[in-house]
């Protein structure tokens, strides 16, 4: 296979394919996953493409390889196959400087900072023993965050820096951070890990200022191998703490120490944060946790039910997964309540007792949103006529918003697929199912689309 000196015609075709991927998947997905692809060989329709890490290869194979194949086949008549290989030396040379930090080769020197002072463990908040990878249920909405967290925990070097996890309340950010800490403590006990909330970071900093021992404060943080700060939105707007955090962050990243951050919004949406800070936070891997799907909620309930060792009829679990959509914390709370009640009164858990015990929670979770409201908001947002929600037109400009509305109807109401289909011009339930899948797929590959959908959801839930 010819590995170098690809002819200019082929290079132009490859550039076109990359351009298409970029416009189809959006800037963020492109920068994170597709830009690192380098065409290294071509032989009679067989393409060889190099990526710098195994993680990227697996992700590309899973999410983009079909489209990549289609695009290459569209460019080259004799197209036969595409092979993706890992070659760390093949990170695109011209892009080195502008690449996300996690794609750049890790500097060899990691021992320039002094060894951790005795106080490093004091600042770290206690870890919840239940928050491990083993206890984390993975679904579509959290698979990227999970994979990235695992990668950080298992890697001996720094795969991406920082890892920025974000998502709504109670969706598992803290759980994943603790899981990283537990894993590192077990597998690499020599590495010093600090985990704390941004609030606690702020408190420690202010205390150090008051006691005039900011040097010791700085030392504590700057001498760790892995620093994890939870709920970083709390330091936005607090200028001096933000400044200190920024210095600490930079010092650690420059020394190739791992930083993991969580927040309720993406770096670009965090308010009250300085621009340089915002941009630096987004340099590594930004992984969002979406609201849960029904399948994930059911999986979590089954898992948790087993842990509790309680006999809970599957119907009850399905009922809860349908009804409690707010977040995982509330879902767990509901399960604990019905199990506690059953134990106290010495009677088995049934659908009736569940409804009785949880009537307040169920009422709060009852869907107020109607399908009509969803259709109206979505039509407004995409600037199409509301009648297009029922129309038979298939042009993408109307079909996509319609699919988004179907998806939201499934997420935000307790209507069945056939019922939803009927409200969209008498469509079949398989059409609704297809729409839901399509939107989920697009959400995982196109961050701006995903943000649009989240925005609509928030507006409808408000
Ligand atoms: N995928 C999951 N599998 C199992 N448990 C989960 C999952 N996601 C969340 N949980 C559980 O839900 C609860 C809330 O999660 P967690 O505290 O990590 O949320 P969070 O995103 O950090 O929320 P907050 O924004 O309030 O800090 C925890 O008990 C956690 O174990």
Span 91-95, average pLDDT: 39
| pLDDT score for 5 | 54
User: What atom of ligand 1 comes closest to residue 172's alpha carbon?
Assistant: 18
Instruction: Quote the ligand 1 centre to 50 CA distance (angstroms).
Output: 36
46-51 vs 81-86, strand pairing mode: parallel
- Structural domain ending residue among the three candidates 260, 289, 318: 289
pLDDT tier at 107 (50, 70, 90 boundaries)?
very low
Evaluate whether residue 102 is within a structural domain.
no
Evaluate whether residue 393 is within a structural domain.
yes
Better-predicted residue by pLDDT, 86 or 426: 426
pLDDT tier at 211 (50, 70, 90 boundaries)?
confident
Write the CA distances from 369 to 16, 375, 384, 402, integer angstroms: 44, 11, 20, 17
Instruction: Quote the ligand 1 centre to 273 CA distance (angstroms).
Output: 25
State whether 304 and 280 are in the same domain: no
User: What atom of ligand 1 comes closest to residue 136's alpha carbon?
Assistant: 3
User: What ipTM does this complex have?
Assistant: 0.98
User: What atom of ligand 1 comes closest to residue 231's alpha carbon?
Assistant: 27
Instruction: Quote the ligand 1 centre to 330 CA distance (angstroms).
Output: 10
Lowest pLDDT segment from 105-114, 210-219, 373-382: 105-114
Instruction: Quote the ligand 1 centre to 173 CA distance (angstroms).
Output: 6
pLDDT, averaged across the chain: 84
Looking up tokens 């408000």, which residue turns up?
A: 462
State whether 440 and 423 are in the same domain: yes
State whether 260 and 155 are in the same domain: yes
Looking up tokens 């307040």, which residue turns up?
A: 360
50-79 pLDDT, tens digit per residue, is 987 777 787 788 778 888 888 888 788 788
Looking up tokens 């698979």, which residue turns up?
A: 143
Q: Ligand 1 pocket test: which of 134, 175, 290 has the largest number of ligand atoms within 8 Å of its C-beta?
A: 175
pLDDT tier at 220 (50, 70, 90 boundaries)?
confident
| pLDDT score for 383 | 92
User: What atom of ligand 1 comes closest to residue 299's alpha carbon?
Assistant: 3
State yes or no: 172 annotated in a binding site.
yes
Instruction: Quote the ligand 1 centre to 331 CA distance (angstroms).
Output: 10
Instruction: Quote the ligand 1 centre to 328 CA distance (angstroms).
Output: 6
User: What atom of ligand 1 comes closest to residue 289's alpha carbon?
Assistant: 21
Question: What CATH number corresponds to the domain at position 319?
Answer: 1.10.8.60
Structural domain total, the chain: 4
State whether 313 and 396 are in the same domain: no
| pLDDT score for 258 | 95
Question: What CATH number corresponds to the domain at position 228?
Answer: 3.40.50.300
Evaluate whether residue 381 is within a structural domain.
yes
The residues, any chain, with a CB within 8 Å of residue 203's CB and separated by 6 or more, are: none
Evaluate whether residue 213 is within a structural domain.
yes
State whether 150 and 229 are in the same domain: yes
145-188 pLDDT, tens digit per residue, is 999 999 999 998 899 999 999 998 899 999 999 999 999 999 99
Span 239-257, average pLDDT: 85
Instruction: Specify the residue with its C-alpha closest to ligand 1, atom 23.
Output: 170
Q: Is the pLDDT at 104 greater than 70, yes or no?
A: no
State yes or no: 248 annotated in a binding site.
no
Rg of the chain's alpha carbons, rounded to an integer? 25
Which residues have CB under 6 Å of ligand 1?
131, 135-137, 142, 167, 169-175, 231, 264, 300, 328-329, 332
User: What atom of ligand 1 comes closest to residue 138's alpha carbon?
Assistant: 1
| pLDDT score for 2 | 43
Q: Is the pLDDT at 203 greater than 70, yes or no?
A: yes
Evaluate whether residue 100 is within a structural domain.
no
State whether 139 and 284 are in the same domain: yes
Dig out the tokens for 238 from the structure. Answer: 């607090």
State whether 269 and 139 are in the same domain: yes
Better-predicted residue by pLDDT, 409 or 5: 409
| Tally of CB atoms within 10 A around 73 | 14
Q: Is the pLDDT at 341 greater than 80, yes or no?
A: yes
Instruction: Specify the residue with its C-alpha closest to ligand 1, atom 19.
Output: 170
Question: What CATH number corresponds to the domain at position 27?
Answer: 3.30.300.180
Q: Mind giving me the DSSP string for 231-275?
A: -GGGGTT-HHHHHHHHHHHHHHHHTT-EEEEEESS-GGG-TT--H
Question: What CATH number corresponds to the domain at position 437?
Answer: 1.10.1750.10
State yes or no: 173 annotated in a binding site.
yes
| pLDDT score for 366 | 65
| pLDDT score for 28 | 65
- Cα separation of 414 and 405, whole Å? 14
Q: Ligand 1 pocket test: which of 145, 174, 179, 293 has the largest number of ligand atoms within 8 Å of its C-beta?
A: 174
Q: Is the pLDDT at 25 greater than 50, yes or no?
A: yes
Instruction: Quote the ligand 1 centre to 258 CA distance (angstroms).
Output: 22
State yes or no: 74 annotated in a binding site.
no
Q: Ligand 1 pocket test: which of 150, 178, 328, 331 has the largest number of ligand atoms within 8 Å of its C-beta?
A: 328
State whether 39 and 160 are in the same domain: no
- For residues 123-160, one letter each, b for 16 or more C-beta atoms within 10 angstroms of the residue's C-beta and e for the rest, the string is bbeebeeebbbeebbebbbbbbbbbbbbbbbebeebbb
Q: Is the pLDDT at 349 greater than 90, yes or no?
A: yes
Lowest pLDDT segment from 159-168, 199-208, 326-335, 365-374: 365-374
Better-predicted residue by pLDDT, 120 or 208: 208
Q: Is the pLDDT at 311 greater than 80, yes or no?
A: yes
φ, ψ at 78 (rounded to 5°): -85, 20
Instruction: Quote the ligand 1 centre to 46 CA distance (angstroms).
Output: 45
Instruction: Quote the ligand 1 centre to 176 CA distance (angstroms).
Output: 8
- Structural domain ending residue among the three candidates 307, 331, 365: 365
Lowest pLDDT segment from 62-66, 159-163, 255-259, 331-335: 62-66
Q: Ligand 1 pocket test: which of 329, 331, 333, 336 has the largest number of ligand atoms within 8 Å of its C-beta?
A: 329
Predicted TM-score of the model (pTM): 0.61
Highest mean pLDDT among 1-5, 39-43, 434-438 belongs to: 434-438
State whether 258 and 313 are in the same domain: no
Strand partners of residue 38: 50
| pLDDT score for 462 | 62
State whether 284 and 182 are in the same domain: yes
C-alpha triplet 42, 45, 47: angle, nearest 5°: 40
Domain boundaries, position 444: 371-461
- Structural domain ending residue among the three candidates 289, 314, 348: 289
Evaluate whether residue 45 is within a structural domain.
yes
Evaluate whether residue 222 is within a structural domain.
yes
State whether 269 and 124 are in the same domain: yes
Span 245-274, average pLDDT: 88
pLDDT tier at 111 (50, 70, 90 boundaries)?
very low
Instruction: Specify the residue with its C-alpha closest to ligand 1, atom 10.
Output: 172
Percent residues over pLDDT 70 in the chain: 89
Evaluate whether residue 2 is within a structural domain.
no
State whether 67 and 157 are in the same domain: no
């Amino acid at each position: 296979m010819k590995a170098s000196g690809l002819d200019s015609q082929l290079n132009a075709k490859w550039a076109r394919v990359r351009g298409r991927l970029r416009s189809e998947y959006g800037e963020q997905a492109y920068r994170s996953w597709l830009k690192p692809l380098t065409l290294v060989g071509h032989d009679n329709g067989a393409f060889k493409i190099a990526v710098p890490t195994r993680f990227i290869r697996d992700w590309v194979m899973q999410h983009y390889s079909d489209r990549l194949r289609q695009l290459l086949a569209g460019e080259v008549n004799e197209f036969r196959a595409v092979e993706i290989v890992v070659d760390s030396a093949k990170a695109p040379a011209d892009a080195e400087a502008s690449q996300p930090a996690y794609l750049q080769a890790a500097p060899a020197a990691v021992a320039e900072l002094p060894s951790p002072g005795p106080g490093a463990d004091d600042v770290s908040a206690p870890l919840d023993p239940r928050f491990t990878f083993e206890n984390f249920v993975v679904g579509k909405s959290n698979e990227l965050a999970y994979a990235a967290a695992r990668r950080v925990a298992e890697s001996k070097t720094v795969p991406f820096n920082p890892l920025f996890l974000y998502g709504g309340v109670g969706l598992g950010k803290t759980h994943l951070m603790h899981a990283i800490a537990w894993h590192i403590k077990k597998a690499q006990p020599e590495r010093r890990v600090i985990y704390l909330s941004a609030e606690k970071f702020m408190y420690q900093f202010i205390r150090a200022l008051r006691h005039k021992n900011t040097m010791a404060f700085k030392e504590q943080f700057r001498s760790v191998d892995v620093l994890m700060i939870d709920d970083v939105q709390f330091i936005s707007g607090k200028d001096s703490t933000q400044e200190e955090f920024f210095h600490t962050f930079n010092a650690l990243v420059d020394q190739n120490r791992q930083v993991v951050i969580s927040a309720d919004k993406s770096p670009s949406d965090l308010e009250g944060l300085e621009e340089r800070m915002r941009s630096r936070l987004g340099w590594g891997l930004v992984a969002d946790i979406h609201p849960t799907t029904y399948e994930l909620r059911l999986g979590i309930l089954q898992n948790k039910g087993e842990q509790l060792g309680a006999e809970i009829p599957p119907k009850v679990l399905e009922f809860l997964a349908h009804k409690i959509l707010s977040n995982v914390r509330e879902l767990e709370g509901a399960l604990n309540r019905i199990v506690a009640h059953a134990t106290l009164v010495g009677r088995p858990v049934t659908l009736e007792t569940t409804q009785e015990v949880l009537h307040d929670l169920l009422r709060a979770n009852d869907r107020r949103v109607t399908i009509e409201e969803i259709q109206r908001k979505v039509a407004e947002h995409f600037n199409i006529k509301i009648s297009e929600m029922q129309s038979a037109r298939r042009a993408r400009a109307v079909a996509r918003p319609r699919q988004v509305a179907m998806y939201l109807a499934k997420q935000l109401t307790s209507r069945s697929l056939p019922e939803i289909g009927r409200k969209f011009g008498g469509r079949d339930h398989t059409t609704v199912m297809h729409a839901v899948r399509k939107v989920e797929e697009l959400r995982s590959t196109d961050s701006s689309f995903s943000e649009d959908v989240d925005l609509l959801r928030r507006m409808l839930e408000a």
